[in-house]
Structure 1
Amino acid sequence: MKRIVLTGFRGTGKTEIGRILAAQHHVQFLDTDSLIEQQTGRSIPDIFHEDGEERFRTIERDVIAGLPAGDAVISTGGGAVVDPVNMANLRRDSTVILLIADLDTIEQRIARSPRPPLTNLPLQEEIAEMLDRRRQNYHASADLCMDTSGTTPSTAAVIINDRISRGVVTPSARKDALAFFRGGRLAAPALRRLEEILANPPADPLTRLLGVAGYPALHSRGPRLFNALFAEYGLNNHYTFFEDPEIAKILQLARSLDVKGLSVTIPFKQDVMALVDEVDEHAAQQIGAVNTVVFACGTATGYNTDWLGVRKPLVSLKGSKAVLLGAGGVASAAAFALVDLEMDVTVLNRTPEKAKELAARSGCRWAAWDTFDQIRPDLVVNATPLGMEPDTRSPLQEEQLYPDLTVFDLVYTPPVTPLIEMALAKGCTTITGTEMFIEQAKEQFWLFFGIDVPGETIRKYLS
């Protein structure tokens, strides 16, 4: 059997259910909190009170790193999922099951617990606060979800065993998905792998799909990168292409297949917002575009990681004068990043009304497309699809470029676009779309799995 790891907040039943599962599978049961107490000779409340939470988390990290690789059921502490190092160790060659429960149930179960409070709030308010704070981390940890609110530990164990053995995707959903993929443009090797995963019965019912949703989508380097990362981190997942002219159809298919996550590309980054259950307030709502959808516990949540992919390579240019070419979903994320870097930003777009709308929403200026030469910026960011195969035109002409200009082309297929070629010839500083892809993919992987992948690891698999 694969190692079973139980995550979730205190009071969701990890210890009781874990003991039952371990007995049923005839393997050892390990509780990380108990292991910490055994190794330190101190209670967890004492560690919190005397040394603080930071010291406790260090000990917890060491304990999790030393857990056996297989033949075990493991129960984790409620905050273990927040640490990316823990997630890399817990997820490797394991089935991770997130246990959830409603507020009242959790409060009843932990009301007499000796564990120290994590905030100064009353208990139920603290539970709500911590659940909200860790929600993304819990969702990232989940291969399967189990609501224990109205079940006994023994009943929960029965349901979990059934899901482990059969999966949660119905035969009819697998059949419909195969028809979808066979009707597309997938290459034969990619289609054969999907036929294995979606067979009735499947070779492994717990293999979860992820993919890039777009039209077109086959230009994406996502499958190459993510499938390599799955092998690197021992994850039971497969990344493929969800290509269709209707994003609603893709979302419906993804829900029926219990897909773990989607990377959303052209032309769906704005349309997909109306189809997810929740949109991240920090960036995606302000940007008005979603490029990442995480599915967990019946909920689809939209995020935007594009803006980080734009921001990180430009930190040294904070406060510069910038021109942003384009006004679509990627441009919205780029505008958010440039404004966050306190740049003087002007949006140019072939359709002036769209430039004006984006500028108003982002707090920057806009102008007619042909005013680029008059602005003479320090930085130009191409957020149009021009340069992307097969339309390999450049949004600017060579005579419009000059040596002290930095050119950032967000197009990454091909890696060196006509705009980048011209900029290099004119002595400009250049940043290719690969840099954006690396940074936004790093953030996506964390949203999907809670693991922080080094940028150099991503670069290795893209080279």
Structure 2
Amino acid sequence: MKVVLTGFRGTGKTTVGRRLAEHLHLPLIDTDACIEEQAGMPIPEIFRSRGEAGFRLLEREVIASLRNEDCVIATGGGAVCDPANVEDLRYNATIVLLTADPGVIEERIRGSDRPALTDLPAAGEIRHLLQVRRQAYRSSADVCIETGNAASPEIAAWIARTLAEGTVSAGNRREAALLAREMGIGDAVAGDPATRLCGIAGNPCAHSKSPGLYKRLFERFGMNYRYTRFEWHDIGTIVRLARLLDVRGMSVTIPFKVDIVPYLDEVSEDAAAIGAVNTVVQCGGVMQGFNTDWLGIRIPLRHRAGGRAVVLGAGGAAAAAVYALQSLDMEVTVLNRTPEKARTLASRYGCAAGGLDAFEGRDVDVVVNTTPVGMEGDARSLLTVEQLEMGMTVYDCVYTPPETPLLREAVRAGCETIAGTEMFVHQAVEQFRLITGIAVEPALVREMME
């Protein structure tokens, strides 16, 4: 068994770690102590002679050496800001994030000889670093616990109990089981209570490749996680079930990307600007919403920056497309079967709009289809070969099947084509990082989708 305690200095990693190690009959390894031993000097001297960069290199070496150890590990405050560290710490382990109020932290570390990492006064530095590291802490943690008002033996006992029984209370588990049966997904949420649960929320979502991909990724990185489907007609009910089960992360698909926003506690800047969420991360009872779809559109189209683009559709994926294309300094037009919906979306971004019949290929460099037209079993294409021009880039966000009717028309017209699998790959890379703290290469995601 490997248990990792992360968090800012002063949150109790060493004192709680000592108690937890005794309880679990495991050795306690403090990464900072290992760094000092390896360098042959205390940490303040390491910073003076090698700088923070030199300290982080030593920290990386120490953490890599602990990948396969059975122990309790107390990490440095910034360790999980490096995804490579998170990958090694997460392997066959449970990561517990210890948190405390900034004022409590300031009081606990007052008088420390640790070097400052900013030019700010102590209180300002604590708040600044907590904000900078906030997402890395939340993404890398399996379990979160506030340590400000509890004694270390009490915290250690809670962690040990959680390791054995999971994060969901018996009452919540019973309520969740009843709700899941009503939804017809009782089997999907049953299982070992110590296994963390993730899933995809959609209606329908049986076509999604996410369950298979996440299963392989969790196995690859030695994570005791399971990924399932939350297929139901009401997103409010899905969110209620996710809160009861302390679901760690959710992918959100059609038709809920916009509807889910009011049910979340926090929404990222990108997701707020887009008005849609495709990724939910839950840590310590707080549900955060993110949008990674826009990166799945932006990254494959970087080579067409500055051109003219048409977005087909007016839903949440279309909003992500407009946001992505405008970040590439592209002139964007939104076209939709219902022109009024296109105008409503376009008005948010100050771009042109119209019906599908307004499409004129000779004035377009990039076409992005964000509608479900052409999905498996649908032989339709919103555009014909006659409407498309050679040299145009056609990006279809539909990824089942990999070659859609629209892409076949685009090939016939001599266009550059980008399959929806590329959107899936790049959004999944960022989504997996948000849910787990681990950075995966797009090539690995492509390989695992085959």
Same fold (TM over 0.5): yes
Determine which of 275, 278, 285 is the counterpart of 1:298: 285
Residue 149 (structure 2) aligns with: 150
Determine which of 343, 368, 378 is the counterpart of 2:330: 343
1:58: Cα distance to partner?
A: 1.1
Residue 214 (structure 1) aligns with: 202
1:193: Cα distance to partner?
A: 6.8
Note if contact 2:199-2:230 (Cα within 8 Å) is conserved in structure 1.
yes
Q: Distance in 2 between matches of 1:146 and 1:61?
A: 25
Residue 397 (structure 1) aligns with: 384
Q: Distance in 1 between matches of 2:121 and 2:427?
A: 38
Residue 10 (structure 2) aligns with: 11
Note if contact 1:339-1:364 (Cα within 8 Å) is conserved in structure 2.
no
Note if contact 1:264-1:293 (Cα within 8 Å) is conserved in structure 2.
yes
Determine which of 239, 261, 264 is the counterpart of 2:252: 264
Residue 328 (structure 1) aligns with: 315
Residue 364 (structure 1) aligns with: 351
**Residues 1:22 and 2:28 aligned together:** no
1:184: Cα distance to partner?
A: 5.6
Paired residues, number: 450
Q: Per-residue displacement from partner, 1:218-256 (whole Å, max 9, x unpaired)?
A: 111000000100000001101110111110111110011
**Residues 1:250 and 2:238 aligned together:** yes
**Counterparts of 1:377-396 in structure 2 under 5 Å?**
377-396=364-383
Q: Per-residue displacement from partner, 1:391-431 (whole Å, max 9, x unpaired)?
A: 44211122212222211000111211111111122221100
Residue 37 (structure 1) aligns with: 36
1:50: Cα distance to partner?
A: 2.4
**Counterparts of 1:130-141 in structure 2 under 5 Å?**
130-141=129-140
**Residues 1:275 and 2:263 aligned together:** yes
Note if contact 1:339-1:363 (Cα within 8 Å) is conserved in structure 2.
no
1:271: Cα distance to partner?
A: 1.1
1:441: Cα distance to partner?
A: 0.2
Q: 1:185–1:404: structure 2 CA closer, same or farther, 3 Å change rule?
A: farther
1:353: Cα distance to partner?
A: 2.0
Residue 407 (structure 1) aligns with: 394
Q: Distance in 2 between matches of 1:352 and 1:78?
A: 52
1:227 maps to amino acid = K
Q: Please list every run of 5 or more consecutive structure 1 residues that lacks an aligned counterpart in the other structure.
A: none
**Residues 1:446 and 2:433 aligned together:** yes
- Of residues 352-361 and 71-80 in structure 1, the stretch that sits farther from structure 2 once superposed is 352-361
Note if contact 1:438-1:455 (Cα within 8 Å) is conserved in structure 2.
yes
Q: Please list every run of 5 or more consecutive structure 2 residues that lacks an aligned counterpart in the other structure.
A: none
1:71 maps to amino acid = D
SS at match of 2:206: coil
Cα RMSD, aligned residues only: 1.6
1:49 maps to amino acid = R
Q: Distance in 1 between matches of 2:184 and 2:428?
A: 24
2:414 maps to amino acid = G
* Identity among equivalent pairs (%): 50
Note if contact 2:188-2:228 (Cα within 8 Å) is conserved in structure 1.
no
1:24: Cα distance to partner?
A: 1.9
1:145: Cα distance to partner?
A: 1.2
Residue 100 (structure 1) aligns with: 99
Q: Distance in 2 between matches of 1:363 and 1:113?
A: 52
Q: Distance in 1 between matches of 2:182 and 2:411?
A: 42
Q: 1:42–1:447: structure 2 CA closer, same or farther, 3 Å change rule?
A: same
Q: Distance in 1 between matches of 2:384 and 2:170?
A: 54
Residue 129 (structure 1) aligns with: 128
1:169 maps to amino acid = V
1:111: Cα distance to partner?
A: 1.1
Note if contact 2:67-2:91 (Cα within 8 Å) is conserved in structure 1.
no
Q: Distance in 2 between matches of 1:438 and 1:265?
A: 15
Residue 162 (structure 1) aligns with: 161
TM-score by length of 1: 0.94
1:330: Cα distance to partner?
A: 0.3
Q: 1:36–1:426: structure 2 CA closer, same or farther, 3 Å change rule?
A: same
1:230 maps to amino acid = F
1:358 maps to amino acid = L
SS at match of 2:260: helix
Residue 220 (structure 2) aligns with: 232
1:183: Cα distance to partner?
A: 5.5
Q: 1:171–1:85: structure 2 CA closer, same or farther, 3 Å change rule?
A: same
